Amino acid sequence: MSNQACSLQAPVRHLFGPGPSPVHPRVYEAMRQPIVGHLDPFFFQVNEEIRGLLNLCFGTSNDFTMVISGTGSAGMETAVVNFIEPGSKVCIFANGYFSDRLTEMATRQRAQVVRLEKPWGEVFTDAEAEQFIAREKPAAVAFVQAETSTGAYQPGHGIACAAHAHGALVIMDCVTSLGGMPVDVDAAGIDIAYSGTQKALGCPPGLAPITVSPLALDWLRQRKTTPASWYLDLKLLLDYYESAHRYHHTAPISMFYALREALEIVKEEGLEARFARHKSNHEAFVAGLASLGLQMHVAPEHRLWTLNTPRVPEGSIDLEIRKRLMAGYSIEIAGGFGPLAGKVLRIGTMGYGSSAENVNLLLKALKSALA
């Protein structure tokens, strides 16, 4: 067997788009650790450590916290197929691309989907949530806390309070907030929350953390119908990860190593310090954008700290800006899509990439690209 160096040489990029985000060197190092089998006791030990560390990030004491082998969209589909039954009514707060994806998944589950619409970049008030849920009386409610398509942050406390008052379960997408902003699952009263590893957690893409409240777990145990997805059936996954360790699928071991190390880094930094870092770097970046004459798409009080959406200046073309950033600085950012196509840039300041040094690099590069 050859011991020569790897023949593949990938380019070095500055990943400042909506994800994947930059990966900490310790996470890369963790992925070089020897593979064990997916039924090895060491793997289940790593998984148990991950569960405790994830609860810290989620802001929960839930016993039912696990990782789905798949990206954030697998976490979304896990929530939908397990907690939205065919024929049941689900209310979706629709104000961006990923609420549209929730709608698509729920529709494919043959649920009765009802949407409350707002322009991309706006958020819903507690009063609007109460009126919507009281009128529709759904079995479940779903919303996106951190909308990656718009850069808007949707608080969940009012939505969850209204949902529980009318007997509905609450599903929350926190793919672009977990590890970079308060998620507050328990304090907000969220029943099911899912995320992804490639955003503020600073991991490669490939896993989807999910947590389930005791109320939702009790509902799942009493569910009479079988979820349409075998692979994402949480009852089967529980048998694999927790009780009998009964074979279900071959988990991506190296990614579990990576997530465990990334979460250990979060713990060492401290959540409050980590949130403060993301907030201060976001604010410094926004101030720098203003000095370049760029306006933000989202109102100040509703902005994500992890993803920024400055408007494309009049007379500029977003694709040309992005091409110049890549050619001149190896910087990757993203453009808008849907109603925001050609209108905004999507620039991530999250995870390992959220630093004063990177903010300065971004502003210098943008000034050059816009000139």
Structure tokens at 88: 């049941």
Predicted pLDDT at 55:
98
Give CA 236 to chain center in angstroms: 24
User: What's the first-to-final CA gap in the chain, in angstroms?
Assistant: 53
Ranges of residues in the chain with a pLDDT under 50 are none
Do 212 and 191 form a contact (C-beta atoms < 8 A)?
A: yes
State which CATH number among 3.40.640.10, 3.40.570.10, 3.40.50.300, 3.40.1440.10 fits the domain covering 25-266: 3.40.640.10
What are the φ and ψ backbone dihedral angles of 306, each rounded to 5 degrees? -95, -25
* Residue-range domain boundaries for the chain: 25-266, 271-370
What pLDDT is recorded for position 360? 98
In the numeric block, the tokens 């050059």 are attached to: 368
**Which residue in 193, 200, 187 sits closest to 274, CA to CA?**
200
Sheet with 89-94, strands from edge to edge, namely 64-69, 207-212, 192-194, 169-173, 140-144, 89-94, 112-117
Instruction: Report the C-alpha gap between 127 and 129 in whole angstroms.
Output: 5
The rounded Cα 94 to chain-centroid distance in angstroms is 17
Amino acid 187: pLDDT: 98
Amino acid at 15: L
Residues in Cβ contact with 227 at an 8 Å cutoff, skipping those fewer than 6 apart: 81, 82, 233, 234
What is the spatial distance between Cα 141 and Cα 84, in angstroms, rounded to a whole number? 9
Q: What angle do CA 179, 148, 172 make, to 5 degrees?
A: 65
- Can you tell me which residue has the tokens 């890549």? 326
Whole-number percent of the chain with pLDDT over 70: 99
273-326 tens-digit pLDDT? 999 999 999 999 999 999 999 999 999 999 999 999 999 999 999 999 999 999
Which is it for strands 345-348 and 307-308: parallel, antiparallel or unpaired?
A: antiparallel
- Can you tell me the distance from the alpha carbon of 191 to that of 210, in angstroms, rounded to the nearest whole number? 10
pLDDT at position 239 is 80
Q: Does domain 271-370 have CATH number 3.90.1150.10?
A: yes
Q: How far apart are the C-alpha atoms of 353 and 356, rounded to whole Å?
A: 9
pLDDT score of 238 = 83
- Longest Cα–Cα distance in the chain: 67
Three-state secondary-structure class, residue 123 = coil
Burial code (b: 16+ CB inside 10 Å, e: under 16) for 64-89 equals: bbbbbbbbbbbbbbbbbbbbbbeebb
The Cα–Cα gap between 48 and 241 comes to 9
- What pLDDT does residue 328 have? 97
- The bridge status of strand 140-144 relative to strand 169-173 is parallel
Strands (E), 72-168: 89-94, 112-117, 140-144, 146-147, 152-153
Contact of 367 with 48, CB cutoff 8 Å: no
Q: What is the reported pLDDT for 2?
A: 63
Q: Within 10 Å of residue 334's Cβ, how many Cβ atoms?
A: 20
Residue 1: per-residue pLDDT: 58
Residue 258's CB is within 10 A of a number of other CB atoms, namely: 27
Position 284 scores a pLDDT of 98
What is the rounded distance in angstroms from the CA atom of residue 88 to the CA atom of residue 68?
A: 24
